[in-house]
Structure formats: C-alpha cells, structure tokens
Chains A and B, each alone.
Chain A
C-alpha cells in the first residue's frame, strides 16, 4: 500500500514538474479561420517551451534553408523581441477601417496579433521569450561566413 502510494507520489510529482516546466513559458496560441469554400480553420495551443525544444530536432539543413531568406531580418527580430519584454503592455499598432481591424500589441510578455477581416480571422498569441529563442536558434543555424 505504502509502496503504491510512493509510486503514485513519484509519478504525480514527475508529472507536476514536467507540466510546470512545459508551461512555465506560457502557451503559443494560433487561431486562423478563413471564411471561403475550402478555407482552412487552424486552432492550435502549444506549450511555448516545446517549440525551441522541437527546433533542436529539426535537421540542420532545412532549418538553414528556412533561415536564409530571413537572414537580413533576424537581427532586427532578435533586437525587437528582446527589447519588447522591457516595456509595459502596449498597443503598438491598431488599424480600423470599415471592414478590417488589425491590432498588434504586447500583453503579459506575449505578442498578440489580431486580424479581423470579413474573409478571415487570425489571432496569434506568442510569448516573447519563445519568439526570442526561436529567432536565436534560426540565427545560430545560419551558415557561418
């Protein structure tokens, strides 16, 4: 009985620690709805800590290919995400017109991008730390000169 209790305690302890680690950086949330025939509907909740982790398992070559076109902008993105963490929650860009509403803001150390248009809705919530990690890894995967 005690042995079982200890095993259960160990297992639940490990689960709690793993869960706490997985979610300590928050959750990446992606919601895309295209309102047209055959349009895609993507609703994704991913623990932010798993993405940089998963990027370690991506073969170097495809990652390098992906980073190549963005090479010029990676230092900008890196500087931006690093600096954004230092500022209070802010609405950086807001565009409103008859049909569309675009909003880019930071909220609780997360970057939030919302696009509401008649033909599509896109909502993105990504922790700045995770973005910074991802950009850092893409920078590291660039071929050295």
Chain B
C-alpha cells in the first residue's frame, strides 16, 4: 500500500502524491507509458529509492525498513541484473546466500527456479553468454528463487518472443493461483487485460486511477449499441452515432440507460438490441491518460 508518495531526482519531480493499494493473492497491473513513474514507485516499495514524502507498507512492514519481510518479497526491476562471469546457478545461489538461505537448501531451490523459467538445461552456463530472452528469464528466476509471497515485476516479458511471453504470463497466473501476490508493471495493456484483476494507471508521475478492473469499467462512461425501428428517435439521442451495420452507438452511464430505453419505447421504437460495449483497458487507459505518450 502506498499513500501520497512523492519523489524528485534533483530538480526533476517524478512522483506526485501517488497512492494505491494491492489486494493480496491477485495480479495487480501497474500501467503507464515510459517515464510515467512506474519504476520509481516500485523502487520505493522495495526500499531501493527513498521517497521525499508519503509512506508505504509492504506486507505490513514500513518502507524502507524491510529487513523483516525481505524473504517474502521477490522483484525484477528494470531488467535482470547478474554477474556475467558467473553461471546462472551461481548468480541465483549468490542471492540466496545474501538472503541467508543455508547452503544445503540452495541447490534444490536454484534448480527449481531455473526449471520454472525454462533455463534448467543451461544452469551451468555463464550468464554473459545468454541471449536477451534468457537473461530476462533469469531475472524472473531471481525474483522467484526464494519462493516469495509478493512478486514485484517490472516489464517481465521484455525481450521475450511471443511464446516466451505466453509462458511467463502462464507462470504469473499460476503463481497467483498459489496465493502469491503479483504486482505487474507494464506498458503492454493487452498483457494487463489478460492477467490483472486490479490496476493503477500512472501518468506523468501521478496515479491517475486505481482499483479493481471491474470497478474502473463500471465508473467509466459506457458506450451502448442500440438497434431498433424507427431509427430517427434513436439518432435523436444526445451524442448518438450511426454505425455501418444499421445500429446506433450512444454513450451513457449505466444508471441512465433504463430511462433512455423507457423513453425510446415510449416514443414507439421497437428495440431489437441494447448492448453495453465493455471498454478495454486500453479504452480506460486512454480515457485517463489521453492519446500519445508523454515522456518527461
């Protein structure tokens, strides 16, 4: 949970009063264009960057004093980080050692994590020889290796081919189904659409809107497809737009659709269809953020 986070780097303000909370056991999408403040927010949650103002809690511990919960948090922030002349296994074992995991348990944990991300066969290979996609998988393995309750993943599918992206998405869904909480920062709205039950939109250092995806859709002004005869009373509705298939699209909040239907029936329209056009995350995002990317 974050409350009123603010942060500047030098004279550049990068976060303004950012607040959001993440329900446990879900996949929460942290969405926004490049430069919107997603990564800085995540770094603050992880205790890597110090906020100028506001507060945050991770698994009940106040940020940045996370010593008590470090075993329960795994992260991939702004790409993988590794020692290139060490093998994949040794890189993971190094992090387990830093976490104080006993040596006798490390091998099994490392093997399991590498297997989960499809790197089991190259465990002994030096990471400097890995492809971009393999390094990204290793980054995910680094986040997973100590079996954390909370995963904070910043663009985890970067650099992966379509099959790899699908595998990672499946993996994240599987992790959430095991009761883990996943905070997924991404600019791929389709990715968030597929996986996230809640989202926060970041734009220009602000959390424009946050909450469960269904709630956001509910609050959003819906479009409706209306089909009936005669057409004239339907086209006379405010903001009505005729469609090529003979229907009419209107925009109205859910609470106003019943009076509209009553009105149309009252003026003699024989309605054949009144269907809500559920907005995609992209529609919601663009409604909040506007078209185009404003990278500061």
Pairing of A with B: no
Which residues of B are interface residues toward A (Cβ below 8 A)?
none
